[in-house]
Amino acid sequence: MKSIKSILLATLILGLIAVPISSYAKQSFALAGPPDWLFGGGDDTTYDWQDDDPETPWGIERVFNGAYYGDQYTTAVQVAILDSGIDLDHPDLMPNIAWAVDATGGGDPDDKNGHGTHVAGTIGAIRDNNGVVGMYANVQIYAIKVLGAGGRGDWDDLITGIYLAMEGPDGVVGTEDDADVISMSLGASGDPGEDVHNAIIDAYNSGITIVAAAGNEGDGDGTTDEYSWPAAYDEVIAVGATDKDDTIASFSNSGPFLDFAAPGVSIYSTYKNGGYDTLSGTSMACPHVSGLVALYLAMGGQRDPATVKDWLINNALDLGEPGWDPEFGYGLIQAP
């Protein structure tokens, strides 16, 4: 594994949408989820996709169209969450955390930020009639910490995290405990180069489906392109964010790399210190896709990234311009 020279820490602070390019360092990456106060609270509108299940947040209701079945399967599927760590003692997550490791060298995979814990809840919070339930309630979560407490990261650590996901707890590529899905709610506006891309390619070629947040630098104009890496790599499924009205969020990046849209505004999920919180961003959209991919695999789907993407395309709800478009990609993800 080659070393990346002159890695800079991001100065992007979680909570900003419109970030000056000078503060979004090209050789660094950071979280992709601004806080909910930028969008206000919820509303009292009734939607036909809502259900009466108190554990399903609106985003999961929308993906399942009010007929949630993410707790009906028990097949072992491993999702590696490359993020700020996970609250390892959270009651809604602890039973599903199969492995936790710190790729930053700090020796502590616990989440001091809250972002990774929020992502994990959307992917795989358990069914316990309390709090929330995730897209696949019986998933096996790999908590791979690549971001510090401030939500800032180093590309070398991300590379390490990708290879850890490929190997799984036994440290060997090609065995049953390898990750099946890599979920990355993070990114930067500049291409980090071949070292990161080669790691992505290696993971893809090993059969792992890789999902990443499309980024929050959108200008509300679908005719302009805003890139974020690693989402912009061809091997990665890039996810934009929608609201309850199936409208693309104004902050959501658009461009030729965009693959799908998923709920990402005012998403309620698990949070650090055993709590819950409501956040918005493409960071919150990404885990809806990662969790749906895990459920597809649990239902017997083929562990092949191209096949997985075709399945998502075939089941997506086409929004925006007919067919693929740079704001919604192939459409809003849907559980058939």
- Rounded to 10°, the helix 282-298/115-124 angle is 30
**CA dist., res. 47 & res. 202, Å (int):** 42
Burial of 22 (0-12, 13-18, 19+ CB in 10 A): exposed
* 105 HSE (CA, 13 A, CB side): 7
Tokens describing residue 287: 């885990």
- Cβ atoms of 260 and 289 within 8 Å: the answer is yes
| Catalytic residue flag (residue 283) | yes
Task: Tell me how far apart the alpha carbons of residues 183 and 213 are, in angstroms, rounded to a whole number.
Answer: 9
Which residue carries 């360092």 as its tokens? 25
- 318 is known as an active-site residue: no
C-beta separation of 203 from 233 below 8 A? no
Structure tokens that stand for 69 in this block:
């079945």
* Distances 92 to 96, 97, 126 between C-alpha atoms, Å: 8, 10, 5
The one catalytic residue in 28, 36, 83, 84 is 83
Task: Please indicate whether residue 183 is annotated as part of the active site.
Answer: no
Q: CA-CA distance, 287 to 60, in Å (whole number)?
A: 10
User: Which of 28, 254, 266, 283 is flagged as catalytic?
Assistant: 283
At 99, which amino acid appears? Answer: W
Burial 134-151 (b: 16+ CB within 10 A, else e): bbbbbbbbbbbbbbbebb
Catalytic residue among 36, 87, 92, 115: 115
Residues marked as catalytic:
83, 115, 283
